[in-house]
Structures are given as C-alpha cells and as structure tokens.
C-alpha cells in the first residue's frame, strides 16, 4: 500500500481552494452584473415612457386648441348662414305666401260652387231614384201578380202544361243538331205506306207529339207528358200529411200517363216500309218531378218499361238523342261515299268520252295538216302552182292589184314551164 506525501496533500488542497475561490468569484460577479443590467434597462424604459407621455400630452394640447378654433369658426359661419337664410326667407315669404294663398282661395271657391251644384244635382237624382224605386215596386207587384196568375193557370190548365212540354222537347231535339222535317216530325199524323192517314179503333187520327226517325227505316214515338199539378202542391205543402198526400197523387198521375200511352199503342200503327219499335218514349220535361216520383216508388220506371213505355227526362233523352245524331251522321257519310262513287264513275265515263274526242280531234288535225301542206304547194313559185299560172298571165299582159300585190311572182320560174299558146285557126268561109 502506497501512502500519499503530506506535501502533496497540502499542494492538492491549495489548488482546490484556489479553484473553488475562482468559481465563487465568477458566480458572484455574474450575479452582480445581471442586477446592474436590469436596473439600467428599467431606467432606460422609464425615461422613454416619460418622453412619450410628454410628447403625447403636447400633441393633445395642440389638437384641443385646433378643435376649439375650428369649432368657433364653424359656429360663427353657421350663425351667419342661418341669419342670411332667415333674411332671404323673410323677404320671399311675403311674395310666395301670396302666390300660394291666392290660387288656393280660388280653388276653395270653385270647390264650394261645385259642391253646391252637386248638392242640387244629388237632390234631383235622389228624387228620380225615389220615383224609379216606386215604379219598380209597382212593377214588381204587378209581376208577382202575373206570376201568381201564371202559376194558377199552369197548375190547372193541362193544355198549357202540354204545350210547354212540347216546346221543351222541340228545343232539346234541335240542340242535338236534328232537323225538323228530316230527322223528326212534330204533331205529324201517322200514315201508311200509301200515304193514307192511319186511324185508331175509335176512328181518330194518331198524332203523337214527335215521330223520331232513328234512321231511314226505323221510327220511334216520343210523347211529352207533363204532370206538375200534384207536384207543385207537394212542393208548396205546409205539413207532412199534405206532402204525402200530394206525393201519392203525383205518382198516380205519372202512372196514369203510362196507362194512356199503353192504351194508345202508337208503335202498332207504324206500317211498312217503316220498321216499328216495340216501345214508346214518355218524355217528362221536369227532372225534379220525375225523380221525386221515382224516389217515392223506385220500380216506377221498370213497371212502365215492362209495358213498353220508356220514361225519360231531359238528361236521359239527351244521351239517347246524341246517339241518334251520330247514327244520322254515319248515314250522311255513307250517302256521301255513294255520291263520291257515283261521281267517280261519271268522271271516268267523261274522261273516256274526252279521250275519244281528243283522238278524233288529232285525226282531224292530221287531215287538216295534210290539206294545208297540199294547199301550200299550190302557192310555191315553181312547179304546177297557181303562182306559175299568175306569172304567165302577167307576161301576157295581166297586171297585179296595187292594193293586194303578189310578191311571190318575182320568184316564179316561167322559162322552164313556159308553153306557147296555139295560134287561132283560120275559119273557112
């Protein structure tokens, strides 16, 4: 084991002390220097802040002084301007006020005059309106009396009801494009194939309201039956008992009309060549009346149809007439087609006749052309033509007409065809 010398030990310790001292001095100096730097920096910032605050205060003071001056100047200028405007307004007010008030006063006077005139006219108009209102009230009362009288007549006069139904039926037929006298007949007597009037078993003429031609062969009878007396009583009834009584009478009235049509049996009197239909149409012009009866007795129409009576109102007959109109339209189209075929055949025949005549004209033109050429040869200045003969006559002393000369004579060649005329023979005594 080696032991350390005492001198060496002292020497090492001395070195350590020196190093530690130096290190401690360095650390202390560094700390002291940092504090001094911070203090210096803070003092510099404080001085700069103070200078900035002083400069800002000076600028604020200068700005306040400038604002005060500008404000004073603007206030003075505004007061001067207002003063001048007031003086100008005071000077022009007198003139402007007169210019405004005077026309306004004149306008007000005119308005007063117009209102006065309007009041007079209004009074006159009110008087006229009152007079007209009284006249209208009197006319209304008279119209009410006439309507009541018409209602009483319509209710109790069966003939009036019947004529009204016939008018409705006629208008309905015309509205579907059907033509009276072509597609239907009104109040026409039924006739047979020879045109004789057909009579019923009681020797009375059969004159239904309408004979409707379904087509060119088939006819159907339409008879208008108006049953409104009991229906109007039913509508105007005040209590349920009366309503039921009149409703029953209304249904019985329609049933009676059905029985009358069954008894008349119009369709049996339609004779050939017309084809009769096995039913007759009973037209009820008032839809409300018919549907009220059918509501009370739903099988009313079925029982009537079993008797070959078809009950129809305006709505149902409208649809049937529309179909009939379409049928007549098809018939007219078919007739047009036949006429087109006839015209086509006639056209073909006429075209054939024209072709024959055209060929004959062609032949005649050929013959005329040949005759024209033959005649032209007779006018040529050479050969055996009339020009040659005229030229010979001219040489013998004949003269041309000054009005109608013959220019072709200049081209006539008479030398080649010239012949001497024989001398006349001497006659012996």
312: alpha, beta or left, given left = phi > 0 and alpha = psi -120 to 50?
A: beta
Would you state the pLDDT for residue 92?
67
Q: What is the structure's pLDDT at 418?
A: 47
Strands (E), 191-334: 210-213, 218-224, 275-283, 309-312
DSSP assignment of 328-363: HHHHHHHHHHHHHHHHHHHHHHHHHHHHHHHHHHHH
Report the alpha-carbon distance of residue 85 to residue 338 in Å, rounded.
104
> Which two structure tokens, joined as six digits, stand for 189?
């007597």
* pLDDT at residue 82 is higher than 70: yes
pLDDT at 377 exceeding the cut of 70 = yes
Query: Helix (H, G, I), strand (E, B), or coil: what is residue 421?
Result: coil
Pairing of strands 184-186, 210-213: antiparallel
Q: How confident is the model at residue 429 (pLDDT cuts 50, 70, 90)?
A: very low
In this structure, what token pair is assigned to residue 61?
Answer: 């003071």
Most confident option among 60-69, 79-88, 102-111, 255-264: 255-264
pLDDT tens profile 293-341: 999 999 998 999 999 899 988 888 888 888 888 888 888 888 888 888 8
The pLDDT-based confidence of 193 (bands split at 50, 70, 90) is low
Higher-confidence residue of 125 and 10: namely 125
pLDDT of residue 70: 78
Distance, in Å, from the CA atom of 191 to the CA atom of 187, rounded to the nearest integer, reads 12
Q: How far is CA 231 from CA 228, 252, 347, in A?
A: 5, 11, 64
- Report the DSSP beta bridge partners of residue 185: 211
Task: Give the model's pLDDT for residue 34.
Answer: 58
Q: What region does 162 belong to: left with phi over 0, alpha with psi -120 to 50, or beta?
A: alpha
Residue 369 scores a pLDDT above 60: yes
- β partners of residue 310: 281
Give the start-to-end residue ranges of the domains of the chain: 103-156, 159-317
Query: Phi and psi (nearest 5°) for 223?
Result: -125, 125
Mean pLDDT for the chain overall: 77
Confirm if 222 and 283 have CB atoms less than 8 A apart. yes
Peptide bond into 88 cis (omega under 30): no
Helix (H) or strand (E) holding 368: helix 314-377
Tokens of 223: 């008879």
Sheet arrangement for strand 309-312: 184-186, 210-213, 218-224, 275-283, 309-312
Alpha-carbon gap, residue 380 to 383, rounded angstroms: 7
Name the most confidently modeled range: 94-108, 160-174, 309-323: 309-323
pLDDT at 95 over 70: no
- For the cut 50, the answer to whether the pLDDT of residue 378 exceeds it is yes
- The tens digit of pLDDT for each residue in 250-288 reads 899 889 989 988 888 777 766 677 777 788 889 888 888
Q: Is 400 helix (H, G, I), strand (E, B) or coil?
A: coil
Task: Read off the tokens for 171.
Answer: 């208008």
Judge whether residue 40 has pLDDT over 80: no
């Amino acid at each position: 084991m080696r032991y350390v010398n005492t001198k060496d030990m002292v020497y090492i310790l001395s070195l350590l002390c020196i190093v530690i001292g130096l290190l401690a001095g360095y650390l202390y100096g560094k700390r002291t220097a940092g504090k001094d730097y911070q203090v210096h920096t803070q003092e510099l910032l404080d001085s700069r802040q103070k200078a900035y605050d002083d400069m800002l205060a000076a600028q604020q003071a200068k700005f306040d002084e400038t604002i005060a001056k500008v404000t004073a100047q603007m206030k003075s200028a505004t007061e001067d301007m207002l003063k001048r405007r007031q003086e100008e307004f005071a000077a022009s007010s007198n003139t402007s006020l007169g210019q405004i008030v005077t026309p306004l006063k004149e306008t007000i006077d005119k308005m007063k005059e117009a209102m006065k005139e309007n009041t007079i006219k209004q009074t006159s108009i009110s008087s006229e309106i009152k007079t007209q209102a009284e006249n209208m009230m009197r006319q209304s009362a008279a119209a009410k009396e006439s309507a009541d009288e018409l209602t009483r007549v319509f209710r109790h006069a069966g003939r009036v009801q019947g004529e009204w139904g016939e008018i409705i039926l006629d208008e309905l037929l015309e509205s579907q494009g059907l033509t009276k006298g072509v597609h239907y007949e009104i109040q026409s007597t039924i006739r047979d194939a020879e045109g004789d009037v057909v009579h019923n078993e009681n020797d009375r003429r059969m004159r239904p309201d309408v004979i409707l031609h379904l087509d060119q062969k088939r006819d159907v009878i339409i008879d208008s039956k108006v049953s409104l007396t009991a229906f109007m009583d039913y509508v105007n009834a005040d209590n349920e008992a009366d309503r039921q009584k009149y409703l029953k009478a209304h249904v019985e009235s329609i049933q009676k009309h059905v029985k009358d049509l069954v008894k008349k049996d119009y369709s049996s009197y339609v004779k050939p060549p017309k084809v009769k239909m096995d039913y007759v149409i009973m037209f009820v012009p008032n839809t409300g009346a018919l549907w009220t009866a059918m509501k009370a007795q739903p099988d009313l129409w079925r029982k009537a149809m079993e008797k070959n009576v078809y009950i129809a109102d305006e709505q149902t007959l409208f649809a049937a007439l529309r179909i009939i109109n379409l049928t007549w339209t098809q018939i007219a189209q078919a007739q047009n087609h036949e006429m087109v075929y006839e015209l086509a055949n006639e056209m073909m025949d006429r075209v054939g006749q024209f072709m024959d005549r055209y060929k004959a004209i062609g032949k005649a033109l050929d013959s005329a052309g040949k005759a024209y050429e033959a005649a032209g040869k007779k006018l040529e200045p050479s050969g055996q033509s009339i020009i040659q003969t005229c030229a010979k006559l001219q040489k013998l002393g004949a003269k041309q007409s000054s009005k109608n000369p013959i220019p072709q004579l200049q081209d006539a060649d008479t030398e080649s065809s010239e012949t001497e005329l024989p001398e006349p023979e001497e006659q012996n005594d």
